[in-house]
Amino acid sequence: MAITADGKIAKTADHFANWTSGADKKMFVEKTKSAGVIIMGLTTYQTIGRPLPGRLNIILTPEPEKEQNIPDSLEFTSLSPQNILIDLEKRNFSEAIIGGGATINGLFLKENLIDEIWLTVEPKIFGEGISLFRNADVNLNLELIETVQLDKNVVQLKYRVLK
């Protein structure tokens, strides 16, 4: 996830992520295409406005039957995070990227289903806005795996979730 220096992923729920750097976007595309699947909530999907090409887009929504699936590209589901991962593993996916928003991030974190957290810290401050995780009352410890400078003013922090 890309975050501001004050830890926000957006100003509002429908805030398009055009504030992130080209370096973050390039890394995001490479990593999500490599994994082959990205999981996000309906609001995040609607903000993007289309399936991200070259990877399976799994969209969590309470009413998936109202949406149109596209084979090998776009699937809507109301499965639990655990069951989504079980289904993806049966389909030979070895990793999945959680692409937000804050509620979806919180669901996976609360169920202890996140192994690594990659944060691209952008040189921006929103002051107010949406935090990285919502509805996840947890107390997790992280181990810094790597720090990468993606651009002159952009760093990526890679953490392992200690379980």
* Residue pair 140/109 in contact by the 8 Å Cβ criterion: yes
pLDDT (tens digit per residue) in 78-94: 999 999 999 999 999 99
| Closest to 13 (Cα-Cα) out of 36, 40, 37 | 40
Confidence of residue 14 (pLDDT cuts 50, 70, 90): confident
> What is the pTM (predicted TM-score) of this model?
0.95
The burial class, CB within 10 Å (0-12 / 13-18 / 19+), for 90 is exposed
**Count of the separate structural domains present in the chain:** 1
Residue 157 and residue 54 in contact, taking contact as beta carbons nearer than 8 Å: no
- pLDDT per residue as tens digits for the range 39-51: 999 999 998 999 9
For residue 55, the SS3 value is coil
Query: Binning pLDDT at 50, 70 and 90, where does residue 21 land?
Result: very high
**Residue 37 maps to which CATH number?**
3.40.430.10
The whole domain housing 157 covers 2-162
**pLDDT tens-digit series, residues 98-121:** 999 999 999 999 999 999 999 999
Give the per-residue pLDDT at 75. Answer: 98
Give Cβ neighbours of residue 66 (< 8 Å, ≥ 6 apart).
76
Q: Strand, helix or coil at 1? A: coil
Task: State the average pLDDT for the chain.
Answer: 96
Do 69 and 99 touch, CB atoms closer than 8 A? no
DSSP run (H or E) holding 151 = strand 141-151
Answer yes or no: is pLDDT of 62 > 90: yes
